[in-house]
Amino acid sequence: MSPGLDGRNGTACIGTPRRSGRVVVVGASLAGLGVAAALRVQGFEGEIVVIGAESYTPYDRPPLSKAVLAGRLTTDHLGLPAPSGRGAHWRLGMPAAELDRTARRVVLADGTAVD
C-alpha cells in the first residue's frame, strides 16, 4: 500500500492511490515535474495540471547559472524531460495566488480558478 489522497479534503491516507480525476500541481520547477512524473509512474491516468509563474517549461537551473552564463552551453540544453505517458497540461506565466480548500480549487493571480 502507498500513501494517497482520500479525495475529500486532501489529507494523506494509506490505501490505493486514485487512478483518475484531476491533480493540480503548483510549481512548474523540477519538483513539480517530479510530482507529475511520479503520478504517472504510480498509475495515475487522469488529468495533471501544472501551474507555474514562469513562462517556461521546467529547466535545469544549475547549468543556467554556470555553463550558459559562461557561454559553454546554450539554453537549448536546459530543458527537462516531460513525464512519460500521457502528458500534463501546463498553465505557465501566471502564479497561483490562493488555495480555496473548501471549493477545492487554486485561484491564479488573474482571478481565474483551476478546480
User: Band of the pLDDT at 68, cuts 50, 70, 90?
Assistant: confident
What pLDDT sits at residue 8?
43
CB burial string 21-53: b at 16+ within 10 A, e below:
eebbbbbbeeebbebbbebbeeebeeebbbbbe
What pLDDT sits at residue 17?
62
pLDDT, the chain, mean? 80
More confident site: 24 or 79? 24
11 pLDDT higher than 60? no
User: Band of the pLDDT at 63, cuts 50, 70, 90?
Assistant: low
**SS3 at position 82:** coil
81 pLDDT higher than 80? no
* Residue range 16-61, pLDDT digits in tens: 667 889 999 999 888 888 898 889 888 898 999 999 999 887 777 7
Nearby residues of 96 by Cβ (< 8 Å), 6 or more positions away: 26, 51, 53, 106, 107, 108, 109
What pLDDT sits at residue 82?
64
User: Band of the pLDDT at 113, cuts 50, 70, 90?
Assistant: very high
